[in-house]
Structure 1
Amino acid sequence: MSNQNLGAVPFDLADHLQTPEEMALYLDVCIAASNGDAAFIAKALGDIARAQGMSRVARDAGLSRKSRCKALSGEGNPDFATLLKVVRALGLRLHASAA
């Protein structure tokens, strides 16, 4: 018997981020787990953007399709200004607290 699982749907985290509170909690957890890796945080923002509708988020953040793919793929090294635009377009806020 084959190990191939026919008909299985790949897991997509974006399908499970339903509320703004879930999205904010997910981003907080990813920031804490990132160990300073901006690409990891950008990938988390990409997950949230897919949950909300990537086209709308990119439009609201003022990103072209190419910029959006590069910034939120987890493969690039997005600048902080781009990440802040995306956070704002997602309706989220970053904040700091004492460690």
Structure 2
Amino acid sequence: MTEFTPFDASEYLGTVEAIAEYLAAALEDSDPQVFLAALGDVAKARGMTQIAKDSGIGWEILYKALSPGSKLRYETVRKVMDGLRVRLTVLPHS
């Protein structure tokens, strides 16, 4: 019998470009929890402690904010995105 391990996106998020593309794809989903999960994957890839430091958010607050089901505030998203050195952009629908 073949044994499978769960997919872990954080193993593929080694560059800022990969992180930006991953988060952009997550934003295309209408479910905000998809984006929240993607931010959690990125934080795991970069290290939660480092993301907290780079974004100026306490580690405990960041961990809570990126937990499934949390109600992430725009201010927190902005700080995390700044800490990741990526930004949100708006484009017209094609």
On whether the aligned pair clears a TM of 0.5, the verdict is yes
- Stretches of structure 1 that go unaligned for 5 or more consecutive residues are none
Q: Distance in 1 between matches of 2:55 and 2:68?
A: 17
What's 1:49 paired with? 43
CA RMSD in angstroms, aligned pairs only: 1.9
Q: How many residues align?
A: 93
TM-score for the superposition, normalised by structure 2 = 0.84
Within 5 Å, give how 1:15-94 maps onto structure 2.
15-33=11-29, 35-37=30-32, 39-94=33-88
Q: Is the 8 A contact 1:42 1:83 kept in 2?
A: no
Q: Identity across aligned pairs (percent)?
A: 33
Q: Which runs of 4+ in 1 moved over 6 A?
A: none
What's the offset of the Cα at 1:36? Answer: 4.9
SS at match of 1:44: helix
TM-score for the superposition, normalised by structure 1 = 0.81
What's the offset of the Cα at 1:47? Answer: 0.8
| 1:45-74 residue CA offsets vs partner (Å, 9 max, x unmatched) | 111121112111111212222211121123
SS at match of 2:71: coil
- Stretches of structure 2 that go unaligned for 5 or more consecutive residues are none
